[in-house]
Structure 1
Amino acid sequence: MDHVGVLALFDRDMREGARPDSPGARVERVDKVVRQVGTEHGWNGVIWSDLDESNAEAAIAEQMRYFGELGREFEWKLYGHDKPEDLGKRLRAAGFVAQPEETLMIAELGDLALDAQPPEGVRLLPVTDRAGVDLVADVHEQAFGTDSTRMRHQLLAQLTGDEDNVVAVVALAGDVPVSAARMELVPGTRFAGLWGGGTIDSWRRRGIYRALVAHRARVAAERGYRYVQVDATSQSRPVLARLGFEPLTTTTPYVYG
């Protein structure tokens, strides 16, 4: 893979050219910053910026003012190659709180092994309605130990909206949900984004996460996408590397509000 070329393509398709991720959200391009303004329960934040030492602090202050007037907590999604090089330090100085760093990993679908199946006794159920969304959200709360309210509202809005741009799946052991994941598809781009992939403790290390990645990648390939991308944690990175994903840069959410 041409890392430099693919990363530049990712920046153009998914960041500078970003589209709203759910109904009711909008993307704004103002003064070398691309931001999403979501609904009350949606994602709000900075997706892309083209800054340098001369304008970074003014841009940070403007986003703080803008989202503050809306009464919204927001996130500045910082990538390891973003400029200026000390942008993370500037965000922390302004009061942003850094969340755990993840690795942007990308794979070309033609290079992936997509034959992984769930272990015996586990089946994959497509999520299409509120009951399925509740299963996904419940699994994520158990797997990650975090509140899933925002994800629950956003996923339901995506599934019930006019655009067919999200795929969600839950893994069931009998009738018990043990893992869940989703994929966002952005029309007109070459990237499908894999999100979630949470498995409850007692069912980890059995190949379910691998099967969920393969399932979503097969769907992305069928729909004509060339690449799949993941913001990988340290736990998922080795599995993704074995599947054929390559690390391109880091990504760190900086939260304010």
Structure 2
Amino acid sequence: MNVDLRRLFDRDPRPDPCEPTEVVHRDDLVLWHRPSATRSPWASGVLHYRWTEASADRGIDEVLSYFAARDTPFTWHVPDDGQPSDLGARLRARGFILEAQTDMLVADLPIVGLRINPAIDVVDVTDERTLRDSVLVQHPDWDDERRDRLLRERRAYLGCAGHLRHFALAYLDGRPIASARWRFSTRFRAIGLSGAETLPAYQNRGAYSTLVDYRARIALARGCQYATILADVRTSAPILRKRGFASVGTAEIYVWPETRSSSS
């Protein structure tokens, strides 16, 4: 299959059938809003934009008005080929926070050479125990009330047939230490890797690479040809570049946080 590898990062704007999602899909703008009781900015965001220098500020105004009307924090994905080229600077001037600078990495499957820790057991999140453990690992800094809201949402999501996102959890000596997520492309034979949090006390023990290997093997068994990830240039990107992943571009991720959303 001959594929422009950058296209592997084109997100299908159609909503997940198991999540209530509102989508704006135009040639110049694609965004989605998924109401979440946790008020996480990662639940909604701008997936695509294409404006002229003259129309960009009006476009930003439209996006801000859209999410302000829904009182929702959100993310904004700014790729290196986005138009206009100075959109990142415009967002920073408006008060957006630069959350991450990422490499758009792609690897052919299978992936070889990953540092695997054989003492780590990885399982799919499928029951109440793994569900609770995964939320605790993913958000150790949240209070119990906010984690409970996410638990209710995720419990309902995993109970819905046809959900597109999947969750894995790593255990070491019976303790949950790391979590990760993935989604299969609806357009290509590819898996999109996301997440991957490791509790600070268990970092540098191979949990991240072990979770990458686990998801890559699942994808290979499913018939996928590629694995993709937006990898943070400070942390995961250097690891993955040594293990067969190649960059096909870069992207910045901006956040309009809850505090700005509530006051806008």
* TM, length-normalised to structure 1: 0.84
In the TM superposition, what is the alpha-carbon distance from 1:114 to its structure 2 partner? Answer: 7.5
* SS of alignment partner, residue 182 of structure 1: strand
- Whether the 8 Å CA contact 2:8–2:228 is kept in 1: the answer is no
For 1:166 and 1:45, locate their aligned partners in 2 and report how far apart those are by CA, in whole Å. 17
* SS of alignment partner, residue 34 of structure 1: strand
- Whether the 8 Å CA contact 1:191–1:225 is kept in 2: the answer is yes
- What amino acid maps onto 1:18 in structure 2? P
- Whether the 8 Å CA contact 2:106–2:245 is kept in 1: the answer is yes
* SS of alignment partner, residue 242 of structure 2: helix
| Partner deviation per Cα, 1:152-193 (whole Å, 9 max, x = no partner) | 566444422221423322111222111111112233333321
Residues 157 and 195 (structure 1), Cα distance of their counterparts in 2 relative to 1, 3 Å cut = farther
* SS of alignment partner, residue 101 of structure 1: strand
- What amino acid maps onto 1:123 in structure 2? D
Mapping of residues 52-63 of structure 1, within 5 Å = 52-63=52-63
- What amino acid maps onto 1:82 in structure 2? G
| Partner deviation per Cα, 1:33-70 (whole Å, 9 max, x = no partner) | 00011113461111011222122111111111111111
Q: Which residue of 2 aligns with 1:89?
A: 89
Q: Which residue of 2 aligns with 1:30?
A: 26
* SS of alignment partner, residue 106 of structure 1: strand
The count of corresponding residues between Structure 1 and Structure 2 is 247
Q: Which residue of 2 aligns with 1:107?
A: 107
- Whether the 8 Å CA contact 2:114–2:243 is kept in 1: the answer is no
Residues 82 and 153 (structure 1), Cα distance of their counterparts in 2 relative to 1, 3 Å cut = farther
- Whether the 8 Å CA contact 1:96–1:255 is kept in 2: the answer is yes
In the TM superposition, what is the alpha-carbon distance from 1:201 to its structure 2 partner? Answer: 2.5
Q: Which residue of 1 aligns with 2:13?
A: 18
Residues 114 and 77 (structure 1), Cα distance of their counterparts in 2 relative to 1, 3 Å cut = same
- Whether the 8 Å CA contact 1:158–1:165 is kept in 2: the answer is no
* SS of alignment partner, residue 243 of structure 1: coil
* SS of alignment partner, residue 99 of structure 1: strand
Residue 122 of structure 2 is aligned to residue 124 of structure 1 = yes
- Whether the 8 Å CA contact 2:13–2:25 is kept in 1: the answer is no
For 1:64 and 1:197, locate their aligned partners in 2 and report how far apart those are by CA, in whole Å. 29
For 2:154 and 2:103, locate their aligned partners in 1 and report how far apart those are by CA, in whole Å. 23
- What amino acid maps onto 2:58 in structure 1? A
- Whether the 8 Å CA contact 1:114–1:215 is kept in 2: the answer is no
Residues 190 and 101 (structure 1), Cα distance of their counterparts in 2 relative to 1, 3 Å cut = same
- Whether the 8 Å CA contact 1:114–1:214 is kept in 2: the answer is no
- The root-mean-square deviation of aligned C-alpha atoms, in Å, is 2.6
- Whether the 8 Å CA contact 1:19–1:26 is kept in 2: the answer is no
- Give 5+ residue unaligned stretches, structure 2: none
In the TM superposition, what is the alpha-carbon distance from 1:5 to its structure 2 partner? Answer: 2.6
Residues 207 and 172 (structure 1), Cα distance of their counterparts in 2 relative to 1, 3 Å cut = same
Residues 178 and 103 (structure 1), Cα distance of their counterparts in 2 relative to 1, 3 Å cut = same
- Whether the 8 Å CA contact 1:119–1:206 is kept in 2: the answer is no
In the TM superposition, what is the alpha-carbon distance from 1:200 to its structure 2 partner? Answer: 1.9
* TM, length-normalised to structure 2: 0.82
* SS of alignment partner, residue 137 of structure 1: helix
Residues 159 and 217 (structure 1), Cα distance of their counterparts in 2 relative to 1, 3 Å cut = same
For 1:178 and 1:126, locate their aligned partners in 2 and report how far apart those are by CA, in whole Å. 14
- What amino acid maps onto 1:27 in structure 2? V
* SS of alignment partner, residue 224 of structure 2: coil
- What amino acid maps onto 2:249 in structure 1? T
| Partner deviation per Cα, 1:176-219 (whole Å, 9 max, x = no partner) | 11111111223333332112222222322222211110110111
Residue 143 of structure 2 is aligned to residue 176 of structure 1 = no
| Partner deviation per Cα, 1:210-237 (whole Å, 9 max, x = no partner) | 1110110111122222221112122212
| Partner deviation per Cα, 1:222-257 (whole Å, 9 max, x = no partner) | 222222111212221222112211122222222222
For 2:156 and 2:243, locate their aligned partners in 1 and report how far apart those are by CA, in whole Å. 31
- Whether the 8 Å CA contact 1:108–1:226 is kept in 2: the answer is yes
In the TM superposition, what is the alpha-carbon distance from 1:96 to its structure 2 partner? Answer: 1.9
- Give 5+ residue unaligned stretches, structure 1: none
